[in-house]
Amino acid sequence: MARDLLLFHSPQSDPSWPARLAEALPEVEVTTDLATPEPGRVAGAVVWAPPPGALARFPRLRFVQVLGAGVDHLLADPSLPPGLPVARLLDPGLVRLVAEYVLTHALALHRGLPALARAQAEGRWAYAAPRPASEATVGVLGLGTIGAAAARLLAAAGFRVLGWSRTPKPDAPCPALCGPEGLARLQTEADILVLLLPLTPATRDLVDAAFLERLKPGACLINAGRGALVVEDDLRAALDRGQVGHAVLDVVRTEPLPPGHPFWTHPRVTLTPHNAGATRPASALAAVVANVRRGLAGLPLEGRVDRTAGY
């Protein structure tokens, strides 16, 4: 009998993924063909942002392993069969990369590097007295695995760190606030605000004009979560007024950022092309292989997503 097919779709990932999966999982045949002529043989899928409707073609699909931490793009597909188990990736390598990104930019913002780069471009010697990280507060919104890792690195670098999550997080590695009162406190205390929340109906558009107005004047923002957490016109207005001092955006609502978008040239915006983290086979293969085996055997997946909560 022909082996089950495992669909792999993640065009931006390391090209060695399909061969590595095939080697580690001889019990299945790995295909990268979304239009495979044998859709009935596809038993599992390992994907990042498949086109909407793509997975509905496979009547015997038993599970989906997402090749990243966020699953919003997949859950937004109305044709995703209800009840189909979906797992997000628990990859220590991805977690570390994003935490390092947050630390890099928090230090750069704290030392005023964007303003110094502007001064250099204009030929100005703009001396500003340095301050230690311990004199700045970083607020981390989202205390999942990545938020907790970022909080740990920031604290190790000397920052005062405050975390916030929707529900209480007794195991958080930093003082952890929750609920609307906790958010209000974090907004007034943070010099740098880090967005690491999942994108769900409850967090979409969270960072709007009213939210930004409650921040300390001149506070900076780092978004390594999802673009749609932020209302971009409202952020632009807050940057123009100096209410937000600078924004570091690894994610934007439409990726790649469309040509002509004001963020391309805004002097108070640093853009990175959604590369704060990446799922690299070296750190993620073992977890993916183990979960594929669980999925094929009908066992509970590690990192299974609560599809109603959206993460």
Task: Name 187's Cβ contacts closer than 8 Å, sequence gap at least 6.
Answer: 139, 193, 211, 214, 215, 216
Given 105, 226, 268, 294, the catalytic residue: 226
What is the identity of the amino acid at 48?
W
Give residue for tokens 């209410």: 243
Q: Of 133 and 196, which has the nearer Cβ to ligand OXD?
A: 196
Instruction: Name the residue nearer to ligand OXD (CB basis): 146 or 162.
Output: 146
What's the closest the beta carbon of residue 97 comes to ligand OXD, in angstroms?
A: 9
Peptide bond into 256 cis (omega under 30): yes
169 neighbors 177 (Cβ within 8 angstroms) = no
We find the least distance from the C-beta atom of residue 68 to ligand OXD, in angstroms, to be 3
**Which of 105, 236, 268, 274 is labelled catalytic?**
274
Mark whether 226 is an active-site residue. Answer: yes
Touching ligand OXD, residues 103-162 (CB under 6 A) = none
Q: 125 phi and psi, to 5 degrees?
A: -95, 90
Q: Residue 255 CB, nearest distance to ligand OXD (Å)? A: 10
Q: Does 277 bind ligand OXD (CB under 6 A)?
A: yes
Q: Which of 18, 44, 50, 68 binds ligand OXD (CB under 6 A)?
A: 68
- The burial of 289, by beta-carbon neighbours within 10 Å (0-12 exposed, 13-18 middle, 19 or more buried), is given as middle
70 lines the binding site for ligand OXD (CB under 6 A): yes
Residue with Cβ nearer ligand OXD (117 or 286):
286
Segments in 140-220 forming alpha helices (H): 145-156, 179-189, 209-213
How far apart CA 91 and CA 284 sit, in angstroms, is 5
Q: Judged by CB under 6 A, does residue 69 bind ligand OXD? A: yes
Smallest distance, ligand OXD to C-beta of residue 105, A: 16
Q: Which stretch binds ligand OXD (CB under 6 A): 20-28, 64-72, 102-110, 233-241?
A: 64-72
Residue numbers 78-107 binding ligand OXD by CB under 6 A: 94
The distance of closest approach from Cβ of residue 69 to ligand OXD in the complex, given in angstroms and rounded to an integer, is 4
Q: How many Cα neighbours within 13 Å face the side chain of 106?
A: 33
Question: Sign of the C-alpha dihedral, residues 298, 299, 300, 304?
Answer: negative
Q: Which residues would be at the binding site for ligand OXD (CB under 6 A)? A: 68-70, 94, 277
What are the catalytic residues?
A: 226, 274
